[in-house]
Chain A
Amino acid sequence: EVQLVESGGGLVQPGGSLRLSCAASGFIFTNYWMTWVRQAPGKGLEWVANINHDGSQTNYLDSLKGRITISRDNAKSSVYLQMNSLRAEDTAVYYCVRYLLWGPGTLVTVSS
């Protein structure tokens, strides 16, 4: 089955760090750019970052540059989002996205 499954979300204190993971299956992972998109509770969708097939190119939302890093491990068919210096406004469901395919999301809550 073609799918993406995110993990690593949870409750973290302001200023803390979190690493999200996304496991891909059912398709040739190395054929695709991979993307992270987030959605704050009750809000719209916000593109966060993406990474090319071999990890040599990355793009980030300007407002998050310096606090996040996207990476991938093609041997594990996985993509990651490292998030540092987390703030309350980073609270959101984080979705892993491939062209035309979304994972179910993982909730990150930043609160003391």
Chain B
Amino acid sequence: DIQMTQSPSTLSASAGDRVTITCRASQSISTSLAWYQQKPGKAPKVLIYQASSLETGVPSRFSGSGSGTEFTLTISSLQPDDFATYFCQQYNSYPRTFGQGTKVDVK
């Protein structure tokens, strides 16, 4: 199975900060990676697919990059609505696997 490792596990930030979350795959997954945002009691929301494609309706302050084994999700200027947990997921091979999550909370 491909292991997906996110860092950090928790990130404390303030509104307006630039935030970067990293996701590393245990083997190459090309660009078969998605990023999700999840708020308590809600289903995950797709932010980025194919490593860098912004899902329709997602604010442009979110961006994704990377290929192979290293990927990043960047929020250029953190907004109050962005405090949430973020997950990466690879869909290059079975079983599909997720990172353990990064919680972005208020500093």
Contacts and interface: CB of A to CB of B under 8 A. Distances in A.
Interface of A: 35, 44-47, 50, 59, 61-62, 95, 100-105
Contacts of A104: 42-43
B96 interface: yes
A21 B42 CA distance: 19
Given A44-B87, A45-B89, A102 B98 contact: no
B82 interface: no
A33 to B, nearest CB: 10
Contact of A61 (B36, B87, B95, B100): B95
A95 to B, nearest CB: 6
A105 B43 contact: yes
A44 B100 contact: yes
21 contacts: A35-B96, A44-B87, A44-B98, A44-B100, A45-B87, A47-B89, A47-B95, A47-B97, A47-B98, A50-B96, A59-B94, A61-B95, A62-B95, A100-B46, A100-B49, A100-B55, A102-B43, A102-B44, A102-B46, A103-B43, A104-B43
Interface string B89-106: 100001111111100000
Nearest to B100: A44
Interface of B (DSSP majority class): loop
Interface residues of B, number: 18
A61 B1 CA distance: 10
A72 B12 CA distance: 43
A3 to B, nearest CB: 11
A67 B49 CA distance: 31
A46 B43 contact: no
Nearest to A59: B94
B36, B45, B94 — which one has the most chain A CB atoms within 10 A of its CB?
B94
A51 B43 CA distance: 21
Given A44-B101, A47-B95, A100-B55, 5 more contacts: A44-B87, A44-B98, A45-B87, A47-B98, A102-B45
